[in-house]
Copies of this chain bind each other. A is one copy, B any other.
Amino acid sequence: MKILDCTLRDGGYYTNWDFDKNLVDTYLTAMNDLPVEYLEVGYRSPKLSGYYGEYFYCPDFVLKKLSVISNKKLVVILDEKNIKLETVEELLKPCLGIITMVRIAIDPEQLLRAIDLAKKVKSMGFEVGFNVMYMSKWKNLPDFLSNLKYVDGVADYFYMVDSYGGVYPEDVKEIFSLVRSQMKTKIGFHGHNNLELALVNTLTAIECGADMVDATITGMGRGAGNLKTELLLTALNQRNNIEVDFNALSSVTDAFSQLQKEYEWGTNLPYMVSGANSLPQKDVMDWVGKRYYSYNSIIRALSNQSKGLKDNETLNEYNPTELFQKALIVGGGDSVREHIDAIRNYLSLNPEVVIIHSSSRNVSYLNDCSNKQFHCLAGNEGHRLEKVFNSIPNNRIAILPPYPRAMGTYIPVNFKFNSFQLSEINVTDRYKSSITSLVLQLVKEMKVKELIVCGYDGYNGEITQHKLELFNENEYLFRNFSKNNFALKSFTPTKYKGLSQESVYSELYK
């Protein structure tokens, strides 16, 4: 039985396939002293749009550099859906003499196409590994099962991949037998850790006769992550007397543990729920990454999805009975509190301006303004809003995203009769589930001609990855809206370049 470590390949989902050079050195050096036979170091890929880093493309000089330090068999993986049969030879030629095995990530529906691709790869002299996804679905795919016999003689290893991280040891046994009954190729297992079953599933696969298993240091990998290499080695050291250099192992584990504190891979309640219910963790990974979705709303959305519900309820659509010339959007930034006297002054001088709250954070400062006030709610913001009011004034209106709402949306009790949904988000092509998109769509529905923003401050100093993403989203939405409609102004200090900087104080001379 052999072990393949795919830390750089699978960990790249968190770092966009860029890793610090010292970390890579530490990794390769430690691996040299550990009982791991293959290292999967990344993808080879034709050009994709968007940024993907060093270990997504693994250009020649990178592979050479790795092979100088490493004494292991090196592996790259291809994503079948991105690879054309006629270009694969060119794509892999630079790997000859450096790379031992080429793996192919395969959707079970595309097994036959992958077999054609694999024949080409094998003819070049590489070992071939099939990484076939969604093992929990296979027993319901009769065509897939009957085509498995064509894998024999083409692939050296056929991996069962627990894509959702939701299989149990008894499933591993059942699916292993099913696959074994259809083909003779050596079988591998790639487990995910949503339910903390990666170790026991992998040990079960080994008992069933698996010839190779995957793991990554500290479990680094998409979503909830993988089987931890250090856990597998510790267990095999004790159970099977496999020799392990724990000094080498802990040096690389220490190094990746530091990175884990930054990116926080590993399982958590949303990943558990998606794993248990075979829901795609790509969505969950996106949601968990966004600051504006609490675990609560993610769980609610997942729970709805697992029951086949899109959301808990549909609402009446918002149909503006009143149109507004001017709107003031109030975000959650500190500048609202800092300039609250001026903002209140402005609002009392301009009673026709409609207030649209995109956050509950500053709602209470404007509680007694006579201007019409709307609250845009997404995800769990309703819970927060409920905490702001003892009783919500009955002239307030809540606006929710269009039905169905993937993330669910909590409607505060007192808003039950004053809540409406928009019919669609057409004001932007991207970030449609962002609360800023909801606000801008509402502005469009109200036929607002002049839009002022406050409390969209941006961030000072060092910011987290999540905040940066949120900032970039808002920036995109502001620029895009300004380009297609009219320029947006900010009355309070802002770091957003998509907002034209003005001052609330300049409007108080009336």
Binding site for B on A (CB under 8 A): 168-169, 193, 195-200, 203, 228, 230-231, 234-235, 237-238, 246-247, 249-251, 253-254, 257, 267-269, 272-273, 276-277, 294-296, 298-300, 302-303, 306
- Whether B254 pairs with A296 at a CB distance below 8 angstroms is yes
Q: Which residues of B contact A272 (CB under 8 A)?
A: 230-231, 234-235
Set B198, B238, B247, B251: member contacting A196, Cβ < 8 A: B198
Cβ-closest chain B residue relative to A306: B238
Rounded to whole angstroms, the CA-CA distance of A97 and B237 in the bound complex is 51
Rounded to whole angstroms, the CA-CA distance of A306 and B302 in the bound complex is 44
Cβ-closest chain B residue relative to A408: B247
Rounded to whole angstroms, the CA-CA distance of A503 and B230 in the bound complex is 49
Set B197, B237, B249, B250: member contacting A199, Cβ < 8 A: B197
Known: A237-B276, A254-B294, A254-B295. A246 touches B169 (CB 8 A): no
Rounded to whole angstroms, the CA-CA distance of A268 and B268 in the bound complex is 16
Cβ-closest chain B residue relative to A169: B200
- Whether B276 pairs with A268 at a CB distance below 8 angstroms is no
- Whether A251 pairs with B296 at a CB distance below 8 angstroms is yes
- Whether B234 pairs with A276 at a CB distance below 8 angstroms is yes
Set B193, B195, B238: member contacting A276, Cβ < 8 A: B238
**Nearest Cβ on chain B to A454's Cβ, whole angstroms:** 29
Cβ-closest chain B residue relative to A264: B261
- Whether A257 pairs with B268 at a CB distance below 8 angstroms is yes
Rounded to whole angstroms, the CA-CA distance of A452 and B439 in the bound complex is 66
Set B198, B234, B294, B295: member contacting A269, Cβ < 8 A: B234
Cβ-closest chain B residue relative to A304: B246
Q: Which residues of B contact A234 (CB under 8 A)?
A: 195, 269, 272-273, 276
- Whether B237 pairs with A296 at a CB distance below 8 angstroms is no
Known: A251-B296, A253-B295, A295-B253. A276 touches B197 (CB 8 A): no
Q: Which residues of B contact A199 (CB under 8 A)?
A: 195-197
Known: A268-B257, A276-B238. A247 touches B296 (CB 8 A): yes
13 residue pairs from A and B, CB less than 8 Å apart: A193-B196, A234-B276, A238-B276, A246-B273, A246-B299, A249-B269, A250-B269, A250-B298, A250-B299, A254-B295, A254-B296, A257-B268, A257-B295
Q: Which residues of B contact A273 (CB under 8 A)?
A: 234, 246
**Nearest Cβ on chain B to A7's Cβ, whole angstroms:** 15
- Whether A276 pairs with B196 at a CB distance below 8 angstroms is no
Known pairs A195-B199, A249-B299; list 12 more (Cβ under 8 Å). Answer: A168-B203, A193-B196, A196-B228, A196-B231, A230-B269, A246-B269, A246-B299, A249-B269, A250-B295, A250-B298, A253-B295, A254-B294
